[in-house]
Each structure stands twice: as C-alpha cells, then as structure tokens.
Amino acid sequence: MTSACFAKWRIRGGKISDADTVRFTAIIGKRTCALKLHLGPGDNHEPVLTLMLADED
C-alpha cells in the first residue's frame, strides 16, 4: 500500500483531487478546517507527506 493510499484509507470521507493529493475536513478545537495532504518527493527522492490548508500550494 502506498503512502497516498494509506492516507486516503485513514482519512474517511476525503476526496482525491489529484493522484498525489487528498482533500478533507478536520475538526480542530471548535473549528472545522478544510485541509489537504500532498505526497511528493523529498530531497533524496523519498516520499514526503505535507499537510496544509486547502487553499495553500
């Protein structure tokens, strides 16, 4: 299972917007936040997961 597939499996209700990005919402405190999880290459071509707000690049 790849990291992106694992992340999709763990984040229920998330939607894959690209082959390497999962968009989802999370409740943090009393706020609901739109987030995305991106899988990309690191400096040495290792897989790196980056969690960011949905409107960030």
pLDDT, residue 52, reads 94
Condensed to tens digits (0 to 9), the pLDDT of residues 1-45 reads 455 554 444 555 556 566 788 888 888 888 888 999 888 889 999
Q: Per the structure block, which two tokens stand in for 26? A: 């999370």
pLDDT, residue 57, reads 81
In whole angstroms, how large is the CA radius of gyration of the chain?
Answer: 12
Q: What are phi and psi of 44, to 5 degrees?
A: -110, 25
pLDDT, residue 32, reads 87
Cβ–Cβ < 8 Å for 15, 7: no
pLDDT, residue 30, reads 86
Cβ–Cβ < 8 Å for 8, 16: yes
pLDDT, residue 44, reads 94
What is this structure's pTM?
A: 0.63
What residue spans define the domains of the chain? 3-53
